[in-house]
Amino acid sequence: MALKVSRVDLWMATIEDRAGGAADKIEPLSRAGANFEFLFTRRTPENPGRGLIVALPVKGKKVTDAAMAAGFAKPDNIHSVRIEGTDKPGITAKVARALGAAGISFRALTAVAIGSKFVTYVAMDTADDAARALGILKKLG
């Protein structure tokens, strides 16, 4: 299977670091019809009592309106690429090496394999790096 590589918009919000803090942000989007493919939360030790939530996709007017009302926004300084393909040993290392060889420094990489497929998200600081990554990764297959 050739790799499927595409640009994706991630949405972020601050959450309260307490039981139910993440649910408070997720539920309004779910009620609006969101079907998340990726959701990530973490505490922010540099900001005690707070955390961070990242979600995607956020699509459609109802979901987008709910996201904005819940405090989500698309960050201007994070540009992401999604890679999907058949899982095989070394594929994530191959992705990381291809980006490194092209001089692209990424700010985050998240990968998961389920069954015979994998999905990886790579976040970069600039739209130019994301565009370059898109071209490089499409050739990996």
Q: Are 81 and 39 in contact (CB under 8 A)?
A: no
Q: Binning pLDDT at 50, 70 and 90, where does residue 1 land?
A: low
Predicted TM-score (pTM) of this structure: 0.90
Give the C-alpha separation, 3 to 77, whole Å: 26
Question: pLDDT at residue 91 above 90?
Answer: yes
Delineate the domains of the chain, giving CATH numbers in brackets. 10-69 (3.30.70.260), 76-138 (3.30.70.260)
